[in-house]
Amino acid sequence: MVRVDQSSLVLIDVQGTLATLMFERQRLVENLQILLKGARILNLPILWLEQYPKGLGPTVPEVAEILDGLDPISKTTFSACGEQRFLDALSTTGRRQTIVAGIESHVCVYQTTRDLLADDMEVEVITDAVSSRTEANYRLGLGRMASMGATLSSVEMCLFELLREAGSDPFKEISRLVR
């Protein structure tokens, strides 16, 4: 169970033309926007990754605009854990739970999740905020991550789990986001 004081959000590689080729792209972008806005409302640390931006391009504008004030961490390894700047940033948060979103579920999301789990992190993969170019690879990635011990969740399930209770200002703001 994710806790607001123990969780960070890891956003993986939602970039350029590749992002436009994702299975259920519109669902992906809309859910990423809700998840990122919710994370900002809850003051979760966000670790924003870009895979070889010189070649793949920057994060898509409709996602990047929510990350104002943050800087992406560039990487060339498929797993974010292969990039020392990511490991340092994650360590700095002091948190042992990671909420993972982005693309592609069977490559960078999977390999990052695998390595985080191997480092005894708790990982929650947001199934409606990850994707791959094909539905088959999307589902294969989710299945592999779940079999390794990652928890599968949705944007709404995750945000309300982080909130724990109704009535607060963050609850009201997040409720408006998901409706």
pLDDT of residue 88: 98
Q: In this prediction, what percent of the chain has a pLDDT beyond 70?
A: 100
Mean confidence (pLDDT) of the chain: 97
CA distances from 146 to 126, 149, 150, 153 (A): 11, 5, 5, 10
In the chain, where are the structural domains located? Answer: 7-178
pLDDT of residue 99: 99
Spatial contact of 22 and 133, defined as CB atoms under 8 Å apart? yes
Element (H, E) at 133: none
Q: How far apart are CA 142 and CA 139, in angstroms?
A: 5
pLDDT tens digit string along 86-144? 999 999 999 999 999 999 999 999 999 999 999 999 999 999 999 999 999 999 999 99
CA distances from 95 to 6, 16, 46, 109 (A): 5, 30, 11, 19
> CATH assignment of 7-178, given 3.10.20.30, 3.30.70.260, 2.60.40.3880, 3.40.50.850?
3.40.50.850
pLDDT tens digit string along 154-168? 999 999 999 999 999
